[in-house]
Amino acid sequence: MKQLWLAAPGRIDLREVPLPSPGNGELLLKIKASLTCGTDLKAYLRGHNLIPMPGPFGHEFSGVVAKAGKGVKKFREGDEVMAVHTAPCLKCPYCKKGLYNLCMNIMDSKVLGAFGQYILLPRRIVLLNTFKKPKTLSFEEAAFLEPLSCVVHGMGRLDLNGPAPGGKDETALIFGAGPIGLLHLLLLRARGVRVAVCALESSRLKLSKQLGAEVFFKPEQAREGLSRFAPLGADYVIECTGRKEVWESAPEYARRGGKIMLFGGLKKGSPVVFSSDRIHYDELALMASFHFCPEDVKKAYRLLAGRKLDVSPLISGKYRLQEAEKAFKKLSLGKGIKYVIKDQK
């Protein structure tokens, strides 16, 4: 079978690799659609500690069961399915506490290689994090299950359903209008929260407006833009740029008692500096979000399957496997949000 490998930063090879055969509890999927993600772009540009190089990559996908291993009860050949690329062990101390996203063994089950013709899903993923795709959902939309699960997890941490001083008039300011910023926008709008978006690229700001942002502005207008939108500061400030200076300034945009979600990861070991005054006297909550729990994946599945969110405007184009490098070149220039990579057009 054909599979894309990240050979070195900036170099993608199309390789011929052996077709795996599903063991006990495993599923072999024929991939119908996979999506590029910010993590893949980072790995393509400078390497990534969770994506070994040289090696296969791509982790957002949907497909059709090509072969089910012994003991698989939920699925059979020909089923259209959507899945994520990890599942917790359910046995480690963190799993025992219900902190499944922090499972000590979560990366053992991880599968990479969605940019290819087939992918083998291990037993744990088949049991916990694989679902039948409704016919009404396209394979491309179904491949959003993984990134949406990450965002659903972060939103759960923000606890939008908790006591909300702003009531229906809750406001959020999102920094960054890449795939993760825009998925936050879709989810917040679905909850009725008013959203402002701050981003660098005009085309992405326009898209945020189309997706329901009430106001949008470039970073140099952030203060003025926010003061008109939420004079006290936003109830939620959501950092989706992965830039140190944005992490450091994010608390300045929250209202007293506001919550700041630091979603975009920084380079390993990056120190960040916040002024303690606002965090202390204004009781700001700084929080971060990593990965997702099976419960988040279920919620994300229900949102997609029930068509509660329309993720299709986030798809900027489609490329065949052998053309995938074009998609990454575009992304590295800030062009487009997510690209579909598939074996056949």
| Positions that interact with Zn ion (CB under 5 A) | 37, 88-89, 92, 95, 103, 147
Query: In angstroms, what is the minimal distance from the CB of 106 to Zn ion?
Result: 7
* Residue 151 C-beta: closest distance to Zn ion, Å: 10
Q: How far apart are the first and last CA of the chain?
A: 17
Q: How far is the CB of 12 from Zn ion (least distance, A)?
A: 17
Provide the phi-psi class of 41: left if phi over 0, else alpha when psi is between -120 and 50, else beta: alpha
Between 247 and 292, name the residue whose CB sits nearer to Zn ion.
292
User: For Zn ion, which is the closer residue by CB, 109 or 117?
Assistant: 109
Nearest approach in angstroms of CB 96 to Zn ion is 8
Q: Which is nearer to Zn ion, 146 or 170 (CB)?
A: 146
When the beta carbons of 102 and 232 are compared against Zn ion, the nearer one is 102
Q: Using the minimum distance from each CB to Zn ion, give the nearer residue, 30 or 110.
A: 110
> Please, what is the minimum distance in Å from the beta carbon of residue 155 to Zn ion?
16
- φ, ψ at 156 (rounded to 5°): -60, -40
* Cβ nearer to Zn ion, comparing 103 with 234: 103
Least Å distance between CB 217 and Zn ion?
A: 27
Report the residue number, 286 or 288, with the smaller CB distance to Zn ion.
288
Q: Quote the least distance from Cβ 150 to Zn ion, whole Å.
A: 7
